[in-house]
Structure 1
Amino acid sequence: MTSDVNQYAVGWGALALINANIAQLKGRSGLWWFLGSLIAGPVATFFLAFVEKETNDSGNAR
């Protein structure tokens, strides 16, 4: 049982790290997405997949 919980926690943490990396690639704060992913998990991944890249004032992607 403990092994199952540990594997679940490692998977959840890995997902949070992946989300932070994707967020940084899209011009978002990796730290906030990491923390949000620790709480929301796969739901945060779903939202991150549909968030557009941040743009600067001239309309260009960062």
Structure 2
Amino acid sequence: MESDIIYQGSQFFVGVGTLALINCVLAQSKNRSGLLWFFISLFIGPLATLIIAVLDKLPEHGG
């Protein structure tokens, strides 16, 4: 019983981490800070995905 709870908890953290990585890549594809959105995603999860999806792509930095 206790091992089931630990297993479910670890699955939750793997899912949250995976979503955060996906949001990181999605943010970078829109020229936004992937690291910032990774940490935001850890707190607000799927809501961050929705926010990133509706944001416009920023212009590329000339360099």
Output the TM-score relative to the length of structure 1.
Answer: 0.86
Match of 1:11 in 2: 15
The correspondence for 1:34, drawn from 23, 32, 38, is 38
Q: Distance in 2 between matches of 1:40 and 1:9?
A: 13
Q: 1:9-40 CA deviation, whole Å, 9 max, x = no partner? A: 10000000000001001100000000100111
Select the structure of larger CA radius of gyration: 2
Question: Segments of 4+ in structure 1 off by > 6 A?
Answer: none
- Structure 2, unmatched stretches of 5+, are none
More helix by share: 2
- Count of residue pairs the alignment pairs up: 56
The one-letter code of the counterpart of 2:32 is R
Provide the secondary structure at the position in 1 that maps to 2:19: helix
Output the TM-score relative to the length of structure 2.
Answer: 0.85
